[in-house]
Structure formats: C-alpha cells, structure tokens
Amino acid sequence: MAMINIKYDIDTINNKRSTIKKLLFEGSKNIKTENFSQIADKDLYILFELYDEIFLKSWFKDNFKGKIIFKLSKQLSRAAGNTRTKKNIADIRPENVEFEVKISLNHLANFNKIDRLKYVGGIEAVSVLDTLMLVFEHELCHVIEFLICFKSSCSKKPFKDLIFNLFGQTETTHKLVSANEVNIQSYGLKPGDRVKFQFNGKIVTGFIQRINKRATVMCQDKQGSYVDKSGRHYKKFYVSLESLTKAD
Ligand SMILES: [Zn+2]
C-alpha cells in the first residue's frame, strides 16, 4: 500500500486532537466529557473515522479495502491495546485483510483511581479521553505499518518514526494505572507484606509473594512443597485481597 508521508509538528497535532475531541463529543452517544464513564465499541469506529479524516488525509478511505474490528477488552492487563492480523498478511488479497484492534477497558476505568502523572507514548495523559486517544494512535500505527510492511513492531525504528511523525509520541510504552496498582492502594497491601487470613477455620499467617486479581500468599508449613534458600517449607495460597489483613 501507498506510504504515508505525513509529518506534523506538535502544535498541529494538539490542534487536530482537539478537533477530534470536539467531533467525538458530537458524534458519540457515550463520550461527552474528557472523563467519561461510558464507552461502547461503536465509539472506537467513530474515532477511527475521525483519525482517518483529520490526521491521515483519508489514507484508509482511499487505500484500504479490508476490515478492522474494534473491540473494548476487559482481558488486557499490562498492554493498554493490542492489534492483530494474520501472519501471512502479505499473501492475502487486500479486500480480505482483517485486523482486530483491542483497547483495554481496565486502563480507562482505573485512570482516575490513582492520583499521579500518567503517560502514554511519552505524552502526558490528563484525562480518560487522552488515554483512549493516545492508545488508539499507537494501535492505529500498528495497522498502518502492517499494511505497508506486512509486519509491525513497536520496538523497532520504522514504527517509532511513524508514530512520532504522525502523533508526536516519543515512546512505545505507557505509564497508566494497572489493576495491581489500584489493589495496592485500596487494600494497602503490597508484595512482601506479612498477612493473615482464615483457612479451614484457622488463622494462617504468611507473606504476599505477588498480587494479581488475588494475592499469592506463602505460608510456612512443614508439609509445604515450596522451599526457600534457608530450607524453610511453604504452602502457597491464592487469597482474595478483601480476605487478607496485615499481620505484624
Ligand atoms: Zn505496540
């Protein structure tokens, strides 16, 4: 497909983002403010049209014959977005090329739960909408790179050039709020903490090894099959965070 030879300066990028926000507020049933709490897959399609028109000079409209499926995802935990297509994209007829672009709901929902600076692609995100748009821009660049190069990697230079030229993003990672960080704040628990909980009617004490949706708690037990460097035996438990209290 035709290359994209577009490069904007930061002021132009910011102006274009503002235009997109204004038009999104008008076109979306859900997104009416910067810190919206409702969003549907449909909004991602609206966003796509707006980006194509306002940033990409209708590059997709004029060149792309395939299909993109946009989805909000509750599954993504570390990545804030994800773009997939078939590995043999180079051999697929343009009209049969298909992408699946996922945007993480968790990262949007967690955005305001922690009060600190947040970044996507080296740009500060000050609202839920900023987060959505910056992540969307990253995934859009994956789609573009797949279409032009038949492969895409955000750790490599062509991607970094593309996303910088189009959207001014200087990094390919984010510093958004993970579920883990929210748990640590709301329960005051972090890995390494000593905790206690009830198990089969007894109080068991141990330490938190890891926190995902539940905490992994290691409890000293002669019969345990986990052995540390000093030869102490442990049993491993998966415990919901609300069942844990701090021990001393
Ligand atoms: Zn990426």
* pLDDT tens by residue, the chain, 248 residues: 777 889 999 999 999 999 999 999 999 999 999 999 999 999 999 999 999 999 999 999 999 999 999 999 999 988 999 999 999 999 999 999 999 999 999 999 999 999 999 999 999 999 999 999 999 999 999 999 999 999 999 999 999 999 999 999 999 999 999 887 887 788 888 889 999 999 999 999 999 999 877 899 999 999 999 999 999 999 999 999 889 998 87
With beta carbons less than 8 A apart as the criterion, state whether 156 and 87 touch.
Answer: no
Please indicate, yes or no, if residue 2 is contained in any of the structural domains: no
Both 80 and 164 in a single domain? yes
DSSP state of 81: E
Both 112 and 154 in a single domain? yes
CATH number of domain containing 216: 2.30.30
Distance 21 CA to ligand 1 centre (A): 23
Distance 213 CA to ligand 1 centre (A): 24
Please indicate, yes or no, if residue 4 is contained in any of the structural domains: no
Both 163 and 201 in a single domain? no
Distance 82 CA to ligand 1 centre (A): 7
Structural domains of the chain, count: 2
Please indicate, yes or no, if residue 201 is contained in any of the structural domains: yes
Both 227 and 112 in a single domain? no
Distance 70 CA to ligand 1 centre (A): 16
Distance 137 CA to ligand 1 centre (A): 10
Both 82 and 203 in a single domain? no
Two tokens at 26?
């008008």
> What number of other Cβ atoms are within 10 A of residue 34's Cβ?
12
Both 213 and 101 in a single domain? no
With beta carbons less than 8 A apart as the criterion, state whether 83 and 139 touch.
Answer: yes
pTM of the model: 0.82
Give the domain extent around 104: 10-177
Both 201 and 131 in a single domain? no
